[in-house]
Chain A
Amino acid sequence: MSFIISTHINYYFICRRKLWLFTHGIHMEHESDLVYEGRMIGEVSYTDRSKKYTEIEIMGSKIDYYDPNRKIVHEVKKSDQMEIAHEWQVKYYIWLLKQSGIEDVEGILEYPKMKIKKKVILTEEDENTLKQIVKDIELIINQKSCPPCIHKKYCHSCSYFDFCYIIE
């Protein structure tokens, strides 16, 4: 039994093809300078936080910073271009925590490069939506064939770009 992890939620909003490929073990993130940059931003921003906050893993999903005293999930991202995907990723964390008995958690989405912070909460309606999202994700990843390319502008900055668009 493998978990639906927060990466799945994130990719669900960005690209279903990427979601399918990722689940089938085709990982490309190591190829991308942008992914590397994102990781570096996560590592070098808020360096004093590492001691106070805890990295936790819950049902296969890794939460980089969880503050158990104030019950806050922190998620650091490079830019808010994919904000919807980020929001649902954080909502999913809160939901996972709730399922393991930790209630009233809030999330903060942080974009240190843009100096923006956004609060994220999980409503009852969101929970129902997440249930539906998880069902959708299971359908997509169990699909026999790979979903087609989406031909979006942001494909160009995706680590799967070469993989998806190389034809001959």
Chain B
Amino acid sequence: MKKSYYLFNPGRMSRKDNTLKFTPVDEEGNEGVPKYIPVESVNNLFCFGSMDANSSLFNFLGKQQILVHFFDYYEHYTGSFFPKDYLLSGKVLIAQAEHYLQPEKRMSLATRFVEAAAFNMLKNLRYYDNRGKETGIQIEKIESYLNQIPFAETVDSLMGIEGNIRMSYYEAFDIIINEFEMGNRTMQPPSNEVNALISFVNMLCYTLCLDMIYHTQLNPTISFLHEPGERRFSLALDIAEVFKPVLVDRLIFSLLNKRQLSDADFDKNLQYCLLKESGKKTVIEAWEAKLNETIKHRSLKRSVSYKHLVKLECYKLVKHIMGVEEYKPFKAWW
């Protein structure tokens, strides 16, 4: 089973025969005991600490189709090492571009992303509404925005509706979350604990989608809801919309309401709030556990992990753009 490796400590990653070797280095530059990581067990690497590496490492990682995601000191995603595509399909690429270029085809896909995202958000709100958290107002608001979707004629207006839906949804966070206040959604930099958490876990979700896209024939830069090339690999942003309520938000509610995270896990300043290393580790552990959780899939009739759901979403998109079958986005059915 391949897994993600999260690197927090500074050190040097190198190739040692057909294994990865990580040598920690402390502040004075003293080398610690090296750790060996069999390359077959690596799905991808997340670099939070500072890593020394040379080109032979990246050549090796590239051959093994391992992605590396980088983050700066403030936990911002700064980019990925994205090895050369190994699943090239000219026909899929052309069909994907065609679905972007033809306004009706693009709108059809963009609409499905927004609808599925909203459906999954409502699912969360209703869950809490049934458990005594009064989110009825937000549910109604989102439902009325949903009714506007069929009248949206451009992707821009659709994005506007999506923004309104998300704003109403975030309003409910203060009702759902017990101890912490979120207030307005602030991103750069996040102003409080909840905002810091949302930013951090959203980023994990984005990299997950990117990883899954990489292992399919889809091109990560051609997107439908988000404008292609607008920041990062925008197809990953499209797919993340569908999964954020299910993967990201539920995780945040549970981490905070079960008090797995506390004040001490955050680094607070006048201007910003960030997760401390202890906090990041807790979040990542919970995130990994979530991704490996399985559900019985209705159409496949077998258990699949949450992580695999994202890959399946990519398959459905490939089928849609190749005219095999219309895309039915993932909507949490339980």
Contact = CB atoms under 8 A, between A and B. Distances in A.
A168 B331 contact: yes
A167 B91 contact: no
B323 A145 contact: yes
Nearest to B302: A156
Contact of B315 (A24, A25, A144, A166): A166
A27 interface: yes
Contacts, number: 58
A146 interface: yes
A24 B86 CA distance: 15
A141 B51 CA distance: 48
B26 to A, nearest CB: 40
B330 A26 contact: no
Contact of A168 (B217, B299, B308, B324): B299
B59 to A, nearest CB: 20
A24 B92 contact: yes
B145 to A, nearest CB: 23
Interface in A143-166: 144-146, 161-163, 165-166
A25 B89 contact: yes
B316 interface: yes
If over half of B's interface residues share one DSSP class (helix, strand or loop), that class is named, otherwise mixed; here it is loop
A163 B324 CA distance: 11
Contacts of B92: 24-26
B175 interface: no
B137 interface: no
A24 B217 CA distance: 11
A144 B328 CA distance: 22
Contact of B316 (A25, A161, A166): A166
A70 B322 CA distance: 46
Interface of B: 86-92, 215, 217, 297-300, 308, 311-312, 315-316, 318-319, 322-325, 328-331, 333
Given A26-B92, A167-B299, A168-B298, 16 more contacts: A24-B92, A24-B322, A26-B217, A26-B318, A30-B87, A145-B323, A145-B324, A161-B300, A162-B315, A163-B318, A165-B300, A166-B297, A166-B316, A167-B298, A167-B328, A168-B299
* 7 A-B pairs closest in CB distance: A25-B89, A167-B299, A168-B328, A146-B324, A166-B312, A163-B315, A24-B91
